[in-house]
Structure 1
Amino acid sequence: MRELHPDHDRVVAALTVPELAPIIDLVVWAGHDGEPAAFAANHLGSVRLEADGTHHVLSGIDPIPSEDPMAFLPYDAECAEPGPRLSTSNAYPYAAPRLLSFFSHPDRSPDLAIVHTPRHYFPDEGGHVGEHGSLDVIQSRAPLILAGPRVRRQGYAAAHARLVDVGPTMAVLAGVPEDDLVDRHGDPVDGRVLHEHLLPGEPRPVVGILWDGAHCGDLLHLAESGELPGVARLIERGVALRGGAVAQFPSVTLTNHTSILTGVGPGRHGVLGNVYFDRASGERVVPNDAATWHRSSEWLHGHVRTVFEMVADHVAPQGFPRSASIDEAIDRGADYSTMQLIRASGDARGADGLTDQLPDPHTSPFNVDPAHLEDHYFSWGVQVDDLGLQQIRQLWADPATAPRLTWWANVVTDAGHHGGGPRSAMARASLRQSDARLVAFLDHLEAIGALEEVTLVLTADHGFEGADPSVTGSWAPALDALGISYRDEGPGLIYLA
Structure 2
Amino acid sequence: MRALHRDHERVVAALLTADLAPIVDLVVWAAPDPDGTQVAYAASHLGRVRLEPGGRHTVLNGVDPIASEDPMAFLPYAAELADPSPSPSTRNAYPLAAERLLSFFAHPDRSPDLAIVHSPKHYFPEAKGHVGEHGSLDVIQSRAPLIVSGARAARRGYADAWARLIDVGPTLAWLAGVPESDLRDRAGRALDGHVLYDFVVPGEAGPVVGILWDGAHCGDLLHLAETGELPGVARLIERGSALRGGAVAQFPSITLTNHTSILTGVGPGRHGVMGNVYFDRATGERVVPNDESTWHRSSEWLRDDARTVFEMVADHLAPTGAPRTASIDEAIDRGADFSTMQLIRASGSSRGAGGLGDQLPDAATSPFLGDPAHLADGYFRWGTRVDDLGLQQIRQLFASPGTAPRLTWWANVVTDAGHHGGGPRSEIARAALRQSDARLVAFLDHLDGLGVGDEVTILLTADHGFEGTDPLVRGSWAEALAATGVPLRDEGPGLVYLL
TM-score calculated relative to the size of structure 2: 0.99
Q: Distance in 2 between matches of 1:337 and 1:403?
A: 12
Q: Amino acid of the residue matched to residue 28 of structure 1?
A: V
1:220 match: secondary structure:
helix
Whether the aligned pair in 1 keeps the contact of 2:210 and 2:408 (CA below 8 Å) is: yes
Partners of 2:65 and 2:90 within 8 A in 1: yes
Partner of 2:24: 24
* Runs of 5+ unmatched residues, structure 2: none
For residue 289 of structure 2, what is the aligned residue in structure 1? 287
- 1:39 maps onto 2:51 in alignment: no
**Counterpart of 1:8 in structure 2: which amino acid?**
H
Would you identify which runs of 4 or more consecutive aligned residues in structure 1 move more than 6 Å? none
Q: Does 1:467 align with 2:482?
A: no
**What corresponds to 2:197 in structure 1?**
195
Name the counterpart of 2:213: 211
Matches of 1:202 and 1:62, distance apart in 2: 49
**1:402 and 2:404 are equivalent in the alignment:** yes
1:298 alignment counterpart: 300
Within a 5 Å distance, the mapping from 1:46-195 to structure 2 comes to: 46-195=48-197
TM alignment of 1:82-481, pairs within 5 A: 82-481=84-483
Cα deviation per residue 1:14-47 (whole Å; 9 max; x = unaligned)? Answer: 1111111000000000001131100000001000
CA distance in structure 1 between the partners assigned to 2:486 and 2:9 by the alignment = 13
Whether contact under 8 Å (2:268, 2:274) holds in the other structure is yes
Deviation for aligned residue 1:48 = 0.4
Q: Are the aligned partners of 2:294 and 2:352 in contact in 1 as well (CA < 8 Å)?
A: yes
The AA in structure 1 aligned to 2:365 is: T
- The residue type equivalent to 1:40 in the other structure is A
1:39 is paired with a residue of what secondary structure? Answer: strand
Residue 316 (structure 1) shift: 1.5
Whether the 8 Å CA contact 2:143–2:464 is kept in 1: the answer is yes
- 2-structure distance, mates of 1:230, 1:83: 28
SS at match of 1:400: coil
The residue identity in structure 2 corresponding to 1:239 is: S
Separation (CA, whole Å) in 1 of partners of 2:485 and 2:187:
43
Matched, 1:13 2:13: yes
Instruction: Tell me whether 313-322 or 462-471 shows the greater mean CA deviation.
Output: 313-322
Q: Which residue identity lines up with residue 310 of structure 1 in the other structure?
A: M
Question: How big is the shift at 1:52?
Answer: 2.1
1:99-131 residue CA offsets vs partner (Å, 9 max, x unmatched) = 000000000000000000000000000100000
SS in 1 for 2:410: strand
The residue type paired with residue 214 of structure 1 is A
- 2:11–2:486 contact (8 Å) kept in structure 1: no
Between the aligned partners of 1:435 and 1:326, the Cα distance in structure 2 is: 17
Query: What displacement does 1:186 show?
Result: 0.8
- Whichever residue aligns with residue 24 of structure 2, its letter is I
Q: For the residues of structure 2 that align with 1:20 and 1:352, how far apart are their CA atoms?
A: 38
Q: 3-state DSSP class of the match of 1:314?
A: coil
CA distance in 2, matches of 1:155, 1:38: 36
Distance 1:165 1:31 in 2: 26
Separation in structure 1 between the aligned mates of residue 179 and residue 400 of structure 2, nearest angstrom:
26
* AA of the residue aligned to 1:217: G
Map Cα deviations across residues 316-353 of structure 1 (whole Å, 9 max, x no partner).
21120000000000000000000000000000100011
- The Cα offsets for residues 31-72 of structure 1, whole Å up to 9 and x where unpaired, read as 011311000000010000001210000010100010000000
1:437-492 per-position Cα deviation (integer Å, ceiling 9, x unaligned): 00000000000011000000000000000000000000111111111111000000
Aligned residue pair count: 497
Q: For the residues of structure 1 that align with 2:401 and 2:57, how far apart are their CA atoms?
A: 52
State the AA in 1 paired with 2:302.
Answer: L
The root-mean-square deviation of aligned C-alpha atoms, in Å, is 0.5
Q: Identity of paired residues, percent?
A: 76
Q: Match for 1:21: what amino acid?
A: A
CA positional deviation for 1:399: 2.6
Shift of 1:80: 0.5
| Secondary structure of 1:196 counterpart | coil
- DSSP-derived class of the 2:279 partner: strand
Report if the CA contact (8 A) 2:54-2:96 is conserved: no
Describe the SS at the equivalent of 2:5: coil
Q: 1:312 offset after TM fit, Å?
A: 0.3
**CA–CA distance in structure 2, aligned partners of residues 337 and 486 of structure 1:** 38
Q: Separation in 2 of the partners of 1:346 and 1:398? A: 31
Offset of residue 272 of structure 1? 0.3
Deviation at 1:401, TM superposition (A): 1.2
Q: What's the secondary structure of 2:402's corresponding residue?
A: helix
Paired residue secondary structure (2:78): helix
CA distance in 2, matches of 1:456, 1:230: 12
